[in-house]
Structure 1
């Protein structure tokens, strides 16, 4: 693959922090504490694996301070990140106490909602609970709206995953094991995009009725229904795509359910208008499914889970396409469209493509499949 997009620039990250500071002020928070999460990478560019030791960043109205174990400072100094002071703590010291000292007396701290509970518990011992507030809503509302640079990285990742799916379709023949397919998916992702699979599910036959597959290493037999769900990561941004199909003459029942699934998927797309509530899209899928005598609600045969989830630096993030989510869809939001239909103990059909919201309506990252034996447009 060529024309790989540029990574997110430091100027864009500075703009994100400016928006975060405005959100902090509106929420009445004096600072935000980011942990070793994708939000730390989103705002500062620093990528760090989460452990029991606090590595993060404290953002106030006029400062950015990294908090880290003293023995890791030399490594952090080598990593790509926005400029900022580094406040170090030694192994016998409490990083929560250091955070409280940096925050200052009487000030309110908003917490990254992906921080471990152990860090929250340590902070409660240093700060009155009323001084700790949930920073999740302000963070997710900023992250949910993607910039053109983010969308370009996601499109590149989606293009790689689409090509992987096409090669998997050609690869699968009687006798191949699911583990061989999963290994091939990872190797092909690496060859195409430079990153392996962030996840890969390959299911055959009745196992396709389990949304996240089985742990057993299945073997494909001619005529089996095939479900493949996978994604990769490019520049910190995820892809996600599912195809369900057969490589033989499909049964009348499978063909019927496949076409209902595709109709429900299209109904989600058609309902995705700027300003509408996210739950409206879930409702649209369920109306189609119920009109064909399936469901209703979460009953099986039917749709047992939400119709989609947001996608970005995390494989599941806001906005969630689910009943009860009244948050409006905004230009720049990206989410999956996957109203899976499950026929218990027989098969399941999940067609998953990702949408990004344009100014005038929804746009596919990848074009949906054509039919039960033609998984690609």
Structure 2
């Protein structure tokens, strides 16, 4: 753990830290790393991928939701929802590529003719990832042809000449517009009731991956906290986090904001230097088999008894109580907005209101394969919580020109209430408990 004695060491040590870490990253020699980071181990083998059987179940869940919402088919072009349902990872392009799932019948793919080989390679891969691959038909179009007319033809051959099509929310406008004008017999609507309806309820396999991602992030943060030095820049700290994630066998990152810049919830581009007694706010997470973590910690290095930190300690305690209040308000059936209100009301009552004045953002967001996804813990959202939904819980108080404090942990809804994936941060001086 960083101490006042460490802070009294020459800041030249920090100036040397970045090249040392860079050398260690290039050479993969643990002896060149700070001991706490060198002690991290590769945890990739702990991750159990999502199975083909689970993806088949996702298709059945999607079809049930399509029937409930009077949607005849959903069209997904690229992005996270495509990977969620099919296991395919397909880069965004100006060329139309779409996987379509009818409420009744087999799915089909529309793609450029020169991509058919790549599509079929993935359909036939071992282990298999694409559900219903044996019955999935591939329609191809040449560069001088209209892919949207081809989509309309494929729908017609699936018995959906006249139908309501759900478009995934992150579909490029040019694609959504092309689908909308492909046929006067097609009606366009949002696919969010289906895609979010599936993705917002996590399976035990998904929860296990998210637990691992959160465990790794907390271990990385702790190791980097133990390795921080006076005079280190915020960018050097972030680079150290990147390297620590590499040691763990995953990809991840963290922003680092110091002093007055911690009052900006998403930080500043200004170069910053870590000093004794300055607030440090770190945020972000890692990805494990496509599932994400998102954790924030606020702490100080050096002598914890510095008088100027008295105000920061009081603010930290308020934010910690607000985080706990939000978690305590969570249970199946509770509207999303009540979780935000539990934290916001406590912060306002402690003198940091009204409303969004110092707690400037919503209480939290859904999380899973995307860092931010449906549903959101925000005023006005009446969506009821359900077991196995996952969220961030991240209240904050931001004092412009002074400092900001945010505490963020991910959690999931159980039949008995909310449950954190990771322990809450107990104090400004001991963000990971006494070490």
Structure 2 CA distance for aligned equivalents of residues 219 and 304 of structure 1 = 25
**Could you give the per-residue CA deviations for residues 75-94 of structure 1, whole angstroms, max 9, x where no partner exists?**
22333423122222222222
Kindly report which structure 2 residues correspond to 1:182-193, keeping only aligned pairs within 5 A, or say none.
182-192=238-248
Structure 2 CA distance for aligned equivalents of residues 24 and 137 of structure 1 = 8
Structure 1 CA distance for aligned equivalents of residues 351 and 190 of structure 2 = 42
- The answer to whether the 8 Å contact 2:163/2:185 transfers is no
Which segment is superposed worse, 119-128 or 72-81? 72-81
- The answer to whether the 8 Å contact 1:173/1:222 transfers is no
Q: Does 1:241 align with 2:283?
A: no
Structure 2 CA distance for aligned equivalents of residues 78 and 172 of structure 1 = 47
Partner of 2:144: 92
- The answer to whether the 8 Å contact 1:225/1:245 transfers is yes
Runs of 4+ residues deviating >3 angstroms: none
Kindly report which structure 2 residues correspond to 1:213-252, keeping only aligned pairs within 5 A, or say none.
213-248=267-302, 249=304, 251-252=309-310
Partner of 1:16: 58
What TM-score do the two structures reach when normalised by structure 2? 0.83
What TM-score do the two structures reach when normalised by structure 1? 0.95
Partner of 2:192: 136
Aligned residues: 373
- The answer to whether the 8 Å contact 1:96/1:122 transfers is yes
Instruction: Kindly state the Cα deviation for residue 17 of structure 1 after the two structures are TM-superposed.
Output: 0.4
**Could you give the per-residue CA deviations for residues 150-176 of structure 1, whole angstroms, max 9, x where no partner exists?**
000011111111111001101221111
- Of 165, 174, 182, 2:230 maps to 174
- The answer to whether the 8 Å contact 1:204/1:218 transfers is yes
- The answer to whether the 8 Å contact 1:187/1:196 transfers is no
- Of 241, 262, 265, 1:208 maps to 262
- The answer to whether the 8 Å contact 1:168/1:185 transfers is yes
Partner of 2:25: none
Gaps in structure 1 of 5+ consecutive residues = none
Partner of 1:336: 392
Instruction: Kindly state the Cα deviation for residue 130 of structure 1 after the two structures are TM-superposed.
Output: 6.3
Q: Does 1:125 align with 2:191?
A: no
Instruction: Kindly state the Cα deviation for residue 370 of structure 1 after the two structures are TM-superposed.
Output: 0.9
Structure 2 CA distance for aligned equivalents of residues 154 and 373 of structure 1 = 27
Instruction: Kindly state the Cα deviation for residue 129 of structure 1 after the two structures are TM-superposed.
Output: 8.4
- Of 31, 39, 43, 2:73 maps to 31
**Could you give the per-residue CA deviations for residues 295-341 of structure 1, whole angstroms, max 9, x where no partner exists?**
11111xx2101000000001001121100011111100000000111
- The answer to whether the 8 Å contact 2:331/2:414 transfers is no
**Could you give the per-residue CA deviations for residues 42-66 of structure 1, whole angstroms, max 9, x where no partner exists?**
1111111222222220111111112
- Of 359, 366, 391, 1:303 maps to 359
Structure of greater relative contact order (alpha carbons < 8 Å, 6+ residues apart): 2
Structure 1 CA distance for aligned equivalents of residues 311 and 121 of structure 2 = 58
- Of 105, 108, 114, 1:71 maps to 114
Partner of 1:292: 350
- The answer to whether the 8 Å contact 2:256/2:282 transfers is yes
Structure 2 CA distance for aligned equivalents of residues 292 and 47 of structure 1 = 47
Which segment is superposed worse, 358-367 or 63-72? 63-72
Which segment is superposed worse, 29-38 or 147-156? 29-38
Instruction: Kindly state the Cα deviation for residue 278 of structure 1 after the two structures are TM-superposed.
Output: 0.7
Relative to 1, partners in 2 of residues 1:129 and 1:240: Cα closer, same or farther, differing over 3 Å?
Answer: farther
Structure 2 CA distance for aligned equivalents of residues 98 and 191 of structure 1 = 47
Instruction: Kindly state the Cα deviation for residue 4 of structure 1 after the two structures are TM-superposed.
Output: 1.2
Gaps in structure 2 of 5+ consecutive residues = 1-41, 123-128
Structure 1 CA distance for aligned equivalents of residues 320 and 365 of structure 2 = 18
Q: Which one has the largest radius of gyration?
A: 2
Structure 1 CA distance for aligned equivalents of residues 289 and 177 of structure 2 = 33
Which segment is superposed worse, 336-345 or 167-176? 167-176
Q: Does 1:50 align with 2:108?
A: no
- The answer to whether the 8 Å contact 1:279/1:322 transfers is yes
**Could you give the per-residue CA deviations for residues 96-143 of structure 1, whole angstroms, max 9, x where no partner exists?**
221111112212211111111111111122133861111112211211
